[in-house]
Amino acid sequence: MNQMEPPSIRVSEIFGPTIQGEGVLIGLPTVFVRTGGCDYRCSWCDSLHAVDNRFRSDWQAMTVEQIWDQVRALSGGEPLTVSLSGGNPAIQPLGELIEFGHREGYRFALETQGSVARDWFSTLDTLVLSPKPPSSQMSTDWARFEACLAAAQGRPLTVLKLAVFDDEDYAYAKDAAARYPHLPIYLQPGNHTPPSPDTDDVIIDITGVMRRMDWLVNKVTHDRWFEARVLPQLHVLLWGNTRGV
């Protein structure tokens, strides 16, 4: 890339407004900017179209202005919270985009697994750190995770959000909560996505999700873990794993 060109951001999709379906901002109208590319590959990732290199040709290198034109159009110019997800959005240079949007009164929430720290985390309004439990087949580098917390400098509202599929994941979630007792923690039952991300309208095993939700509620109440918040992925209950909602 020419040195004079503005840095470009790799984008998988921009969509909305919809509602944030997960965690601390659940129910809040939002526009999603989903970046392409991830340093992880979780066994159960529900967004493989933004992770798997097979989909790389669908990702677009965009400037801040190009992204912002779309966000502004989708939101009708009315400031809202922009959700930055992926893939791992921390891989992309998003600092300028956040600055740009803040000037127009927009707010920004970022979802990341906590493997890559960026200075601009401190400029976010909400930072959702989602370390990956054993069922993902990924392993957590807690030093890198802590670098993310340090980069945030305590400025954004910072929370933990974990997908939980089984007992081992639950134990991992309890360990994460014990490491960071000052951070609110959100647990969400995992959904088993069929392995191929090629089709848009994947049928989700809603009965399985609800059974896992019920199991999770029983776990936290039995353990008297009264700080944990248990929430389903509301968008998955409403629309399955359909893209763009």
Ligand X SMILES: Nc1nc2[nH]cc(C(=O)O)c2c(=O)[nH]1
Ligand Y SMILES: C[S@@+](CC[C@H](N)C(=O)[O-])C[C@H]1O[C@@H](n2cnc3c(N)ncnc32)[C@H](O)[C@@H]1O
41 binds, among ligand Y, Mg ion, ligand SF4, none (CB under 5 to 8 A by kind): ligand SF4
45 touching ligand SF4, by CB under 6 A: yes
Q: Is 148 assigned a ligand-binding role in the annotation?
A: no
Interface of this chain with ligand SF4, residues 180 to 209, rule: CB under 6 A = none
Q: Establish whether 132 is an annotated binding residue.
A: yes
Whether 20 and 83 have beta carbons less than 8 Å apart is answered as yes
Nearest to 36 by CA among 82, 83, 81, 92: 92
Residues 230, 187 contacting (CB under 8 angstroms): yes
Distance of alpha carbon 167 from alpha carbon 126, whole angstroms: 29
Q: Any contact of residue 87 with ligand SF4 (CB under 6 A)?
A: yes
Read off the tokens for 187.
């647990």
Site string for ligand Y, 99-128 (x = CB under 6 A): ------------xxx---------------
Question: Does 34 show up as a binding residue in the annotation?
Answer: yes
Q: How many CB atoms lie within 10 A of CB 96?
A: 16
- Alpha carbon distance 146, 115 (integer Å): 9
SS (H, E, C) 78-101: CCCEEEEECCCHHHCCCHHHHHHH
Distances (CA, A) of 125 to 9, 21, 118, 120, 140: 20, 18, 14, 11, 25
Residue found under tokens 């004079």: 4
Stretch that binds ligand SF4, among 11-19, 40-48, 93-101, 181-189 (CB under 6 A): 40-48
Closest separation in Å from C-beta 89 to ligand Y: 7
| Owner of token pair 């909400």 | 126
Question: Between the CA atoms of 35, 138, 163 and 56, what dihedral angle is there, to the nearest 10 degrees?
Answer: 20
For residue 224, what are its two tokens? 């008297």
Between 147 and 245, CB nearer to ligand X: 245
Residue 215 found at the interface with ligand SF4 (CB under 6 A): no
How many residues form the binding site for ligand SF4 (CB under 6 A)?
11
Residues engaged in binding ligand Y (CB under 6 A): 38, 44-47, 85-86, 88, 111-113, 130, 161, 163, 188, 190-191, 193, 233
**From the annotation, which residues make up the binding site for [4Fe-4S] cluster?**
38, 42, 45
**From the annotation, which residues make up the binding site for S-adenosyl-L-methionine?**
44-46, 87, 130-132
**From the annotation, which residues make up the binding site?**
19-21, 34, 38, 42, 44-47, 85, 87, 130-132
Residues engaged in binding ligand SF4 (CB under 6 A): 38, 40-42, 45, 47, 51, 86-88, 113
